[in-house]
């Protein structure tokens, strides 16, 4: 399929990257492709950035048939790189399958993304640690109020320049261990990247923020005992020199940063234990002094050290509220590969040429 291009004649001015807020500024163009069950995907196109034309009865508004992705483009001098974009498009298709949405051609999506970024190259920031955030998403747009998978969809990619996640050095986050609400249950859609998983988590997030915590650590939806993830990040523990992360159980989002951390450590001869880990085990390790580090992994922050965990009335201060050795090395190794300052495993850093 040919990707047609309709260029804007109204170019925006670039933002000052030292004070742009995450997800507030968008580039001049976007990618759109339509789907109808009688035609399949059709009319892939790059058009001026603007509003979407949606009937108020569109399925997405009422029954939440939406999926999305998040990845970044990184500038190194005159070159622009993507980090494992094939993994994002594969995961988008997996999310779609869970929500009865049609799969798309991952090669075409990557070609479209590269074409869009080439056109928007001036928007990939050169400021240190700033990047171009990429948000592909698919929404159901059949106008029909019956509860049934939509017969029509739009696949859209928008781009947003984002500043450094850490403005003044890597700052450990305070996390509230949630024991009232749950995010996902076995058999639900926790492993799909879908808006509904965020809608359900907002209340816990809001209540945690009111208590002075920046994020929520979710426990399993049945026993509220086993650790799942942090809502927009997966979680790792360093206990007694062993690195442990909850195994993917269907209700945890399979993060690409999580996967990259495990694979990267393996190439360095370090095995990560993927298994069930309970909050009680973490708490006991804290008590006997073997809880060395806790960190989250996700595209936005890459590695986010956790300085404090609050579980019920118990406050655990981790590694003196400072970033640990394992977290710092992973952050350095991953960002070096993402910005193409160092060669990573084959296929991880893809040039947009």
Ligand X SMILES: *Cc1c(COP(=O)(O)O)cnc(C)c1O
Q: Based on the shown chain and the rule CB under 6 A, indicate whether residue 305 belongs to the binding site for ligand X.
A: no
Closest C-alpha among 241, 306, 249 to residue 277 = 249
Q: Based on the shown chain and the rule CB under 6 A, indicate whether residue 233 belongs to the binding site for ligand X.
A: yes
d(CA 150, CA 96): 12
Closest CB 70 distance from ligand X, rounded Å: 6
In this complex, which beta carbon is closest to ligand X, that of residue 145 or of residue 203?
203
In this complex, which beta carbon is closest to ligand X, that of residue 298 or of residue 344?
298
Among the listed ranges 269-277, 279-287, 295-303, 331-339, the one in contact with ligand X (CB under 6 A) is 295-303
* Those residues with Cβ within 8 angstroms of residue 50's Cβ, 6 or more apart along the chain or in another chain: 30
Closest CB 187 distance from ligand X, rounded Å: 17
Q: Based on the shown chain and the rule CB under 6 A, indicate whether residue 304 belongs to the binding site for ligand X.
A: no
- Backbone angles phi and psi of 253, in degrees to 5: -75, 125
Among the listed ranges 75-83, 207-215, 252-260, 332-340, the one in contact with ligand X (CB under 6 A) is 252-260
Among the listed ranges 3-11, 36-44, 101-109, 251-259, the one in contact with ligand X (CB under 6 A) is 251-259
Using CB under 6 A as the binding criterion, the count of chain residues that bind ligand X stands at: 16
- x/- mask, ligand X, residues 165-204, rule CB under 6 A, reads ----------------------------x---x-------
Please identify which residue in 173, 219, 253, 352 interacts with ligand X, judged by CB under 6 A.
253
Site for ligand X in 124-153 (CB under 6 A): none
Among the listed ranges 96-104, 123-131, 256-264, 328-336, the one in contact with ligand X (CB under 6 A) is 256-264
- Backbone angles phi and psi of 349, in degrees to 5: -110, 115
d(CA 17, CA 317): 33
**Residue 7: is it exposed, middle or buried by C-beta count within 10 angstroms (0-12/13-18/19+)?**
exposed
Site for ligand X in 17-76 (CB under 6 A): 70
In this complex, which beta carbon is closest to ligand X, that of residue 297 or of residue 338?
297
CA distances, 97 to each of 18, 92, 103, 176, 312 (Å): 39, 9, 7, 32, 37
Q: Based on the shown chain and the rule CB under 6 A, indicate whether residue 255 belongs to the binding site for ligand X.
A: yes
Residue with the two structure tokens 């945690």 = 208
Please identify which residue in 29, 114, 258, 340 interacts with ligand X, judged by CB under 6 A.
258
Q: With contact defined as beta carbons under 8 Å apart, do 308 and 172 qualify?
A: yes
In this complex, which beta carbon is closest to ligand X, that of residue 36 or of residue 135?
135
In this complex, which beta carbon is closest to ligand X, that of residue 132 or of residue 233?
233
d(CA 281, CA 265): 23
Site for ligand X in 65-104 (CB under 6 A): 70
Interface ranges with ligand X (CB under 6 A): 70, 193, 197, 229, 231-234, 253, 255-258, 297-299
């Amino acid at each position: 399929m040919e990707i047609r291009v309709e260029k804007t004649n109204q170019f925006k001015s670039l933002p000052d990257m030292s004070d742009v807020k995450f997800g507030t500024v968008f580039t001049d163009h976007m990618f759109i492709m339509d789907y109808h069950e009688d035609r399949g995907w059709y009319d892939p196109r790059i058009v001026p950035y603007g509003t979407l034309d949606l009937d108020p009865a569109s399925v997405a508004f009422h029954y939440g048939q939406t999926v999305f992705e998040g990845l970044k483009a990184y500038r190194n001098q005159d070159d622009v790189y993507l980090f494992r974009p094939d993994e994002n498009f594969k995961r988008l298709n997996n999310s779609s399958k869970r929500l009865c949405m049609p799969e798309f051609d991952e090669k075409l999506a990557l070609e479209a993304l590269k074409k869009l970024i080439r056109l928007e190259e001036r928007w990939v920031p050169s400021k240190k640690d700033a990047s171009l955030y990429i948000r592909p998403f698919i929404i159901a747009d059949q106008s029909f109020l019956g509860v049934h998978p939509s017969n029509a969809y739009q696949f859209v990619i928008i781009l947003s320049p984002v500043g450094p996640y850490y403005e003044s050095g890597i700052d450990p986050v305070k996390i509230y261990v949630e024991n009232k609400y749950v995010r996902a249950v076995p058999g639900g859609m926790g492993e799909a990247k879908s808006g509904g998983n965020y809608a359900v988590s907002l209340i816990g997030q809001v209540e945690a923020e009111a208590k002075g915590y920046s994020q929520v650590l979710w426990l399993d939806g049945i026993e509220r005992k086993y650790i799942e993830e942090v809502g927009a990040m997966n979680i790792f523990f360093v206990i007694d020199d062993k690195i442990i992360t909850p195994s993917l159980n269907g209700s945890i989002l399979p993060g690409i940063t999580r996967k990259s951390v495990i694979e990267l450590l393996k190439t360095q001869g370090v095995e990560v234990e993927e298994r069930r880990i309970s909050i009680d085990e973490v708490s006991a390790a804290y008590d006997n002094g073997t809880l060395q580090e806790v960190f989250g992994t996700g595209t936005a922050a890459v590695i986010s050290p956790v300085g404090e965990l609050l579980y019920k009335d118990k406050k655990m201060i981790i590694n003196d509220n400072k970033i640990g050795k394992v977290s710092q090395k992973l952050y350095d190794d991953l960002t070096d590969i993402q910005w193409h300052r160092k060669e990573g495993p084959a296929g991880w850093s893809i040039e947009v040429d």
